[in-house]
A and B are shown apart, each in its own frame.
Chain A
Amino acid sequence: MPARGDHPDAYEVFTQFGEGKPIQYVGSVRAVDPLLAWHAAKEAYTRRDLCTLLWVVPRDAMIVSTPQDRLVLASGDRMIYRGPTFPSAHRRARQHGAAGDGDA
């Protein structure tokens, strides 16, 4: 990062469709200032349904992960003891009177 083709006037666009729904990334716009970016995003990305939130963020201002961070981010694979099935397996192993470390 930054990737080739980046434009300094690029803004990332986030929307929420419905109160309480997740805020999601939908794409980007280019604009000469933040207010115009917000309006461009409104015109391009909120044309249907009930948009409840619209955020634009200068791309340059975002701290983003890189492909090299993937391993660090994939804690589900590396730290299985954090998952709900891990203690349950532990307990089942105990109930069955199995010896050993109890993982399944």
Chain B
Amino acid sequence: MAVVELSGSGVDRQAIDPRLSIKYERWDDLTDEYRRLAGRIASFQALAEFVGVVPFSEWIAKVPDYARKQMFLAKMQDEVGHGHVMARVAEDLGENTREQILWDFVEGRTKLLNIFHYGFDSWEEIGPAALMQNSAAIVQFQSLMGGTYLPYVRALKKIAVEEGFHYHHAMDLTHEVLTNGTPAQRALVQQAFETWLVRVLGYFGPPDLDTVEGNRMYQVGLKVDANETLRQRWLSKIIPVFQKLGVEVRPELVRFDADEGRWVYSGIDFGELKRMLAGGGPRYQDWIDTVRWSLVKNEPYRKAARRAAA
């Protein structure tokens, strides 16, 4: 069993890794393959940023206090901004435009990461779910920032700053429910932790320590670390956070194995996860319908703007 490095951002490793030492700008002489792979990672992330807003937006009218609503809206506006910034990276690589990225999703040509297939069943669920999503995104982005395509790296750096705000907002929301909530509300937080733990563990992708070196994204330095490395890094960061908040972390779900020097987790079946992605999770069709509605509804405004400019 490989021992996974748990600490550090990976910077030391990058300094000695020739795979990551040569960086590229948009105007450099990029191979067609590199251009395609970089475009794919940027457009994939742009879509995730855009659609990632929708599960939250259906809660706007139900946010229970004004300051919370302001923070909630700021988070969603940030995510839409991230989508635009990432879409620019993709567009500059000759990948699809942002409109095409959204239509490809609506018409079933692209897929989303597993965590975007769900919604929230209660207000109490949102804090812990967002806390896990945001911390996972931060771990993922900090790794990807060591990658070789600099426009993507710059976009990630801008995004990561705002993810920090989202993380603290989710922390505050979870803390508020755990501090002021009823026993029933606290139980919902506990339940949400256990539900979303498995989903976010799955978000990092199948274990790949043995195979990652054959992955082209990894070879060209667009993927920096193995899925399993990131999953372990995330657990090291987030489990103590939930424990400190007073959430019970049952060892049969996840525990640190000191002998193996790694986290041992249960509950994910990657085969089942793959089937879910193919068929669409519980809210997948709702998000498709929402994005389609938005594209159609706003088309006259886009047309008017183009007419005015012509």
Complex-state Cα separation, A67 to B28, whole angstroms: 6
Chain A residues whose CB sits within 8 angstroms of the CB of B165 once the complex forms: 48
Tell yes or no: B206 within 8 A of A by CB.
Answer: no
Complex-state Cα separation, A30 to B161, whole angstroms: 23
Per the 8 Å Cβ criterion, residues 38-56 of A in contact with B are 40, 43-45, 47-48
Chain A residues whose CB sits within 8 angstroms of the CB of B97 once the complex forms: 7
Chain B residues whose CB sits within 8 angstroms of the CB of A10 once the complex forms: 88, 91-92
Complex-state Cα separation, A40 to B98, whole angstroms: 14
For chain B, what secondary structure do more than half of its interface residues adopt (helix, strand, loop), or is it mixed? helix
Complex-state Cα separation, A45 to B77, whole angstroms: 12
- Is the pair B27, A36 in contact by a Cβ cutoff of 8 Å? no
Q: When the two chains form the complex, which single residue of A5, A44, A64 contacts B93, counting CB atoms closer than 8 Å?
A: A5
Complex-state Cα separation, A48 to B162, whole angstroms: 8
Tell yes or no: B85 within 8 A of A by CB.
Answer: yes
- Is the pair A44, B85 in contact by a Cβ cutoff of 8 Å? yes
- Is the pair A66, B81 in contact by a Cβ cutoff of 8 Å? no
CB-CB contacts of B99-122 with A at 8 A, as 1s and 0s? 000000000000000000000000
Complex-state Cα separation, A29 to B308, whole angstroms: 18
Complex-state Cα separation, A6 to B306, whole angstroms: 18
Given contacts A4-B94, A7-B91, contact A44 B305 (CB under 8 A): no
Given contacts A32-B309, A44-B81, A47-B77, contact A5 B155 (CB under 8 A): no
Complex-state Cα separation, A11 to B305, whole angstroms: 16
Chain B residues whose CB sits within 8 angstroms of the CB of A36 once the complex forms: 305
Complex-state Cα separation, A45 to B157, whole angstroms: 12
Given contacts A43-B81, A66-B27, contact A30 B91 (CB under 8 A): yes
Complex-state Cα separation, A10 to B158, whole angstroms: 19
- Is the pair B92, A28 in contact by a Cβ cutoff of 8 Å? yes
Instruction: Give A38 Cβ to nearest chain B Cβ, in Å.
Output: 14
Tell yes or no: A3 within 8 A of B by CB.
Answer: yes
- Is the pair A32, B92 in contact by a Cβ cutoff of 8 Å? no
- Is the pair A1, B27 in contact by a Cβ cutoff of 8 Å? yes
CB-CB contacts of B73-98 with A at 8 A, as 1s and 0s? 01001100100110010011111010
- Is the pair B29, A67 in contact by a Cβ cutoff of 8 Å? yes
- Is the pair B91, A32 in contact by a Cβ cutoff of 8 Å? no
Complex-state Cα separation, A26 to B158, whole angstroms: 8
* Residue among A7, A30, A44 with the highest chain B CB neighbour number at 10 A: A44
Tell yes or no: B26 within 8 A of A by CB.
Answer: yes
Instruction: Give A1 Cβ to nearest chain B Cβ, in Å.
Output: 6
- Is the pair A27, B78 in contact by a Cβ cutoff of 8 Å? no
Tell yes or no: B154 within 8 A of A by CB.
Answer: yes
Chain A residues whose CB sits within 8 angstroms of the CB of B35 once the complex forms: 4
21 of the cross-chain contacts (CB-CB < 8 Å) are: A3-B92, A4-B94, A5-B92, A6-B92, A10-B92, A27-B88, A27-B154, A29-B84, A30-B91, A32-B305, A32-B306, A33-B308, A33-B309, A36-B305, A43-B81, A44-B81, A44-B85, A47-B74, A47-B78, A66-B27, A67-B28
* Beyond A3-B26, A33-B309, A47-B77, 9 additional pairs, beta carbon < 8 A: A1-B27, A3-B27, A6-B92, A33-B305, A45-B81, A45-B158, A47-B74, A48-B165, A67-B29
Name the 10 nearest CB pairs between A and B, nearest first: A5-B94, A32-B309, A44-B81, A33-B309, A4-B94, A32-B305, A5-B92, A28-B88, A3-B27, A44-B84
